Structure formats: structure tokens, C-alpha cells
Amino acid sequence: MIVRIMGEGQVRLDDSHLTELNKLDDELLAEMESGDEAGFRRTLTTLLDQVRRLGAPLPDDALEPSDLILPSPDATLEEVRAMLTDEGLIPG
């Protein structure tokens, strides 16, 4: 799976990591629903750090279609809310 972090680039991520990332996605959704800005920021940072740690960066000149697009680390709660689907940021 190819994941794009807005403003950073793409990483190739094995599908086996989706369960772990979905737990963070669920936490992020709960924090957004409750308006917990500090928790939202902390969980978004953790989610993006996990994608970077578990994924292999693609070269800057690679133009692979992204299977998943995640917000930039400095995205606001409102910007992330606009990116959500019925399944959150990460399907599954």
C-alpha cells in the first residue's frame, strides 16, 4: 500500500500494519469528537510517526498513486475532519 503524508511524500507500507494504525485512527476520531485538541495533536503525531517508522520512503521523484492520504503533521482538527470518510482516515 502506498501512503502519502501531505507535505512530506510517500511511503510503501505493508497491509499487515493496518490493524495497528486503525487503533490510532479510532483514538484520533474519539479525540476529535470530544474536542480534545491536545489528545488529537498527540495521536496524529503518533500515527504519522508510526507510518514513517513502519513504511519505506519512496524516492521524491516517484509518482505512485496513493492508496491512502494522511494529513500533514501541522493539520488542524478542522482540516483533518474534512478529510474523514465513514471509516476515519484509515479504512478497515
The per-residue pLDDT for range 35-76, each reduced to its tens digit, is 999 999 999 999 999 999 999 999 988 888 999 999 999 999
Average pLDDT along the chain:
92
How close are the terminal C-alpha atoms of the chain, in Å? 13
pTM for the structure as a whole: 0.91
Mean pLDDT of 21-46: 94
Longest dimension (CA), the chain: 40
Q: What is the 3-state secondary structure (H, E, C) of the chain?
A: CEEEECCCEEEECCHHHHHHHHHHHHHHHHHHHHCCHHHHHHHHHHHHHHHHHHCEECCCCCCCCCCEEECCCCCCHHHHHHHCECCECCCC
